[in-house]
Structure 1
């Protein structure tokens, strides 16, 4: 409670427009929601060492309460489902909060601004990852985007299919790999599928280039971006298998992270599907 009160007080001081926010009569849960909301709406810039220190102490306490999940606690699909294919020891399916995973990198389904979600306490993965990592993540993303805008123009937005590496900060993972997935408005088309494939492909290539041995993949574009979940799972699975055929010796584990029961069932279907005789490459 002490770390929560100290951080909330400093956050209010940091944002004068919210300085009059009444928090004295708030419950502990309400205080935590206000903290997350103030973190979510804070624009990058002017992050003091004092504010960062209070935030880090608070977030580390929150992480301890949630519990860190190391890779050793996540079974492979060979152990869990009896999948005896060549990739059975390289792939896992894990359902839960991706911000708890102690892996080399987790994947963030970002938007084209690449600064995180500004909607207070929004339930998207972009919001969850930035909230768990802390405000330093938005600062780093802002520096990256300002550099890209200096090269491509002030209206530059990150295109779909790329991969951007940042630190993990207060997350248990070492790194976050951000990718912007395709947005499906008026029906799925070939371009959407190609862009989603590029997301997974470039995320894995980014991990390979930086010596990252374990990656947790989220269900890119299937939430706010409306990509059909079943087709997304097929694309993700095929892209990962193609990558492992080429680079499996350089990767310890790729974790398919799902949150919904429906997504888990879709990936279980891919795990249990009979492997085609011809070894296709999807990367």
Structure 2
């Protein structure tokens, strides 16, 4: 992700949210956020923002786990935040759906996204048809609190995950998206458990 923003300085993207429902996965990602911050700052603190919309946009710094805030890091001016919860309830411009080649995966985060989005999105997916292993396509948001759903055929290795994330970021720029939510990619039934962000 860092390389993408170094070569695309004019990106409209402001906030990337990684959302996971699972506590173990959340804790693993939070540890990665803490390691990331330690690497750049030499401290064991995580840059976090309040989840209240009335708070300042400027990040505050607190020890990980001491306050009810979301772990947050800055990457090339982009806020990357981790939330535990239901990705279908996140209010963003776009939600990423890691799915199968036929875009009809009915379990995990993908199943929850398709069910919550409703039949209009399922119909769009059917019309788009089967996608290549590295495919990324965009549909409307259906009944979700987003304008778009970006469907990517679920990559299973770190190089493929990295390439897929970069394709999603390119689509975000093409559509002038400022906020996007990703599921915890690489942690589902068909993937090995290893946070890459």
Q: What interval of TM-score do these two structures reach, taking the shorter chain for normalisation?
A: 0.5 to 0.7
Q: How far does the alpha carbon of each residue in 1:147-206 deviate from its partner, in whole angstroms, 9 at most, with x for none?
A: xxxxxxxxxx423333211111100111110111234xxxxxxxx222111111111111
Mapped contact 2:95–2:148 kept (Cα < 8 A): yes
Match of 2:59 among 58, 70, 78: 78
Please identify which structure carries the higher helix content: 1
For residues 176 and 92 of structure 1, the distance between their equivalents in structure 2, rounded to whole angstroms, comes to 19
Q: 1:106 aligns with which of 74, 83, 95?
A: 95
Shift of 1:228: 2.7
**What corresponds to 2:22 in structure 1?**
none
Deviation at 1:115, TM superposition (A): 2.6
Matched, 1:176 2:152: no
Segments of structure 1 that go 5 or more residues without pairing to the other structure are 1-69, 146-156, 184-191, 238-283
2:119 to 135, 141, 157: 135
> Residues 73 and 88 from structure 1, CA distance in 2 versus in 1: closer, same or farther, beyond 3 angstroms?
farther
Please name the residue that 1:215 is paired with.
180
1:201-257 deviation digits (Å, cap 9, x = unpaired): 11111111111111011112321112232xxx23xx2xxxxxxxxxxxxxxxxxxxx
* TM superposition shift of 1:88: 6.5
Q: Which residue of 2 aligns with 1:167?
A: 140
- Aligned residues of 1:104 and 1:215 also touching (Cα < 8 A): yes
Larger strand percent: 2
Q: Deviations over 1:44-95 (max 9, x none)?
A: xxxxxxxxxxxxxxxxxxxxxxxxxx99489979336587856466222111
- RMSD value, Cα: 2.9
State which of 164, 168, 180 in structure 2 corresponds to 1:203.
Answer: 168
- Pairs aligned (count): 139
Mapped contact 1:161–1:196 kept (Cα < 8 A): no
* Higher relative contact order (CA closer than 8 Å, sequence separation 6+): 2
> Which residue does 1:144 correspond to in 2?
128
The structure with more radius of gyration: 1
Shift of the 175–75 alpha-carbon distance from structure 1 to 2, 3 Å rule, reads farther
SS of aligned partner of 1:90: strand
